[in-house]
Structure 1
Amino acid sequence: MTVRVAWLLSGPPNGQTRTDTRLAPLGTMAPEGELTSRAGVIAGGAPLAATGTGPMQVQLGTGRAVVQGTTAQGAYPVVVTAPETLTVPDGDAQYPRLDSLVLRVYDGLFDASGQTAAAVELLTGAPAPSPVEPPLPAATLRLWTVTVPAGASAGTGGIPWSSALADRRRYTTAHGGIIPRAAGDSTPGAYDGQYRDRGGVLERWNATAGQWQTYRPPLAVESATTGFTVAAGYTLNAYAARRTGGVASVVLDVQRKGPQLDVGPTGNVNPDEPIGTVPAGWRPFADVELSVSDGFGSGAARLTTAGTLTLRTWSSNGALLNDRRLRTSTTYLLP
């Protein structure tokens, strides 16, 4: 057997065997309701991929899936262990049609089939000017849709497989796992806190809003009011720092206790005057220039990656007096 199913009547020829149990995706799968599981393909490699192998033949590759029946039936773990090839019926003389390549479970305890089996099947749609996919019976999972042009046959060149196959696989996972989102899958989530991967973007289901939302983890906010070390000739009045993610914001208020500093017409403080040192963990990944003011004049200071803060310029022909308070605030990136 190349299509195996678990949770059917036990024993051969068609019931669950030990090999079925080892190969089929057993366990508590992602829910869709109180008693139903999310039907879908189990990701890993290229599961249940379809390819055209002849003018009117399509082949389904190996893979695993979960097929949900009615609520009373429950879900069936299914595995295809070898490629399955099916022949597509010739196209209608006038109109195109859409056929669906599916996984189907037959369970005589719940349907009128009288069978206990799983199969790969091709459901034939109705020809029409604007054809639609055929409806699915219970316990059937749509995998691929084949567009069959009007008049298609082996004698007319068959089906153009490069454009005829439409991927209808959707994915599922164990309960609590992150579900890969297939192209065209608009299935809503089942509960608050369910996650899916949408092309590399993590999304979380918001049941109140009834929509998938891009997940943004809460930013850790840290703050500090101590740790700044003042240089000789300064006293510290206030220091407050906050970092959110990789960004730090700092407010500093120091009081100058050194002798009066007269600045010439160029505004250059020579040599640069040390103000203090920012503590480790709060230092920028690159040197930062920031403005400083005492309420009468203003200048520029540099904060280095080593945490050293120095005054570099001041108002032209200005003076920094003893006991003046220098204030600055800045925002910068952390390493």
Structure 2
Amino acid sequence: MNLRSSWVAETGQTREDTRLNQVGATTMVNPVQVRSGILPGSYDGKWRLSGFWMDKASAMTATVSEGRAVIQGDISQGVYPVALPAAEQVTFAAGDAQYGRIDLVVLKVYDNLYDGSSRNEAKVEIIQGVPGQAPKAPVAPPRSLALYEVTVPAGASAGNGGIPWSTALKDLRTPVVSLGGILPVEGPVLPGAHPGQYQDTANNQFQRWDGGKWVAYPEAVGGIVPSSASTLQGSYTGQYRDGSNGELQRYDGANWKPAFPGPYYTDLTDAGYTTSSTYTSTLLDTVQNPVSLSFVAPSSKSVLVHFGARMRSHKDYYGYLALRLTQGSNVIQEPDDEYAVIASNENFGSMSMNRRLAGLTPGLTYTFTFYYRLVANTVGAQAWYDNAFIRVDPQY
């Protein structure tokens, strides 16, 4: 067996054993214990984690490549460094005649002082699972580090095709680094051990542990988070990011929101009419009732509103199109003839107007609603509206 360990054997530890296992990898999980895992790195620098990679050697045999790791025992037992300086092969038992099973490949430390095994060594081992209709992988034993789950189909053997290696392996390896090192995440994302710990995620996002969660760390104070990391939580209120749809967004302390909302727009595309001499939000002969547009007041407290329509009325019986402004259940401004679009022609004509509204409360949501009327009449006049629109442009 090639797997070498330090500080396990009662006698016979060589200087070579000691040199191979000077790993210095102690990613803390609490003040006393460290995380079990594999030292990162690869021969060509392209991969985060190459140690103890496993792949097919033959139908029922796999090759476990060289690597170094640390295996944490119980809180009073300390951490065991191990090293595999040359690749090792492991052979799986033939599959059950009826059911499949899941085996577990582990790095296992035997320490007679704690397990009474009469052994003091480290080994690459297969923990064989129990066959079943819905098999589960066995639990890793104490003082061991899980490397892979391997699904062994029913009837698998060297004589009938063996294990389907391309689909049978589930990689469980996870890296560790020295105290204070930046952890390259591979496999499950585990909690940090202390505020100020850093990790580099699989999607190349730099993160900091804040004592309760991993938080995306800006590339620089005031830096804009790139769109490749646009699904992650912000680091501080006022941080900006390039959203996944190309929209610049600002973090408000809880959510990412558009940095510059607007313009806001809505329209009436199904023509309707009114005979009411008082303002109403309901038109006849249309299904679009009422027509409203909500917007969020910007920090400048002011917006430009542009509204209009194709309108017609009846001779001198003026038709009016006005806006009602509300904030929640509060009416800020009722529709007013002085700020209305007016039509007094039997033929359709397009007209519109602009207004600037100021004194709004930043961050609150306001709503404009169309209201319609025509002057009092006794001739059954109608005011018609089509292609009406409201557009609100926040001023920044």
The letter for the 2-side match of 1:195 is Y
- Residues 243-258 of structure 1: matches in 2 within 5 Å? none
C-alpha distance after superposition, 1:253-288 (max 9, x if no partner): xxxxxxxxxxxxxxxxxxxxxxxxxxxxxxxxxxxx
Amino acid of the residue matched to residue 77 of structure 1? P
Q: Using the alignment, how far apart are the partners of 1:91 and 1:52 within structure 2?
A: 16
- 2:392 corresponds to: none
Asked if the contact 2:148–2:172 (Cα under 8 Å) also holds between the matched residues in 1, the reply is yes
What percent identity do the matched residue pairs reach?
A: 41
Q: CA deviation at 1:123?
A: 0.7
How far apart are 1:128 and its partner, in Å?
2.0
Q: What is the Cα deviation at residue 28 of structure 1?
A: 5.9
1:163 aligns with 2:161: no
Query: Is residue 194 of structure 1 aligned with residue 186 of structure 2?
Result: no
Q: How does 1:295-314 map to 2 (within 5 A)?
A: none
Runs (5+) with no aligned partner, structure 1: 222-243, 246-330
Matches of 2:140 and 2:40 in 1, distance apart? Answer: 22
Contact 1:181 1:196 in 2 (8 A): yes
Question: SS at the partner of 1:22?
Answer: helix
Contact 1:25 1:66 in 2 (8 A): no
Alignment of 1:1-335 (within 5 A): 2-9=2-9, 11-12=11-12, 16-27=13-24, 29-45=26-42, 46-183=50-187, 185-199=188-202, 200-207=204-211, 210-217=212-219, 219=221
Q: Deviations over 1:112-169 (max 9, x none)?
A: 2111100000111111222221111110000111111111111211001111111100
Native 8 Å contact 1:11 1:17 kept in 2: no
Distance 1:112 1:10 in 2: 13
Q: CA deviation at 1:212?
A: 1.9
- Closer, same or farther: CA 100–220 of 1 in aligned 2, 3 Å: same
Between the aligned partners of 1:181 and 1:114, the Cα distance in structure 2 is 37
* Cα distance between partner residues in 2 of 1:206 and 1:179: 15
For residue 173 of structure 1, report the CA deviation from its aligned partner: 0.6
Deviations 1:6-64 (A, max 9, x none): 1224542xxx3211221114336111112111110001112111011111011101000
Tell me: CA distance 1:128–1:53, structure 2 relative to 1, closer, same or farther (3 Å).
same
Give the distance between the partners of 1:175 and 1:7, measured in 2 at CA: 21
Deviation track 1:150-199 (CA, whole Å, cap 9, x = no partner) reads: 1111121100111111110011010011111113x132211111111112
SS in 1 for 2:179: coil
Asked if 1 retains the 8 angstrom alpha-carbon contact of 2:25 and 2:176, the reply is no
Moved over 3 A (4+): none
- For 1:27 and 1:143, the matched residues in 2 are separated by 20
Equivalents in 2 of 1:28, 1:119: separation in Å?
20
The count of residues paired between Structure 1 and Structure 2 equals: 218
The aligned amino acid for 1:127 is: P
Residue-by-residue CA offset, 1:41-88 (whole Å, 9 max, x unaligned): 001112111011111011101000001111111110000011111110
CA distance in 2, matches of 1:5, 1:93: 38
Q: Cα distance 1:152–1:114, how it changes in 2: closer, same or farther (>3 A)?
A: same
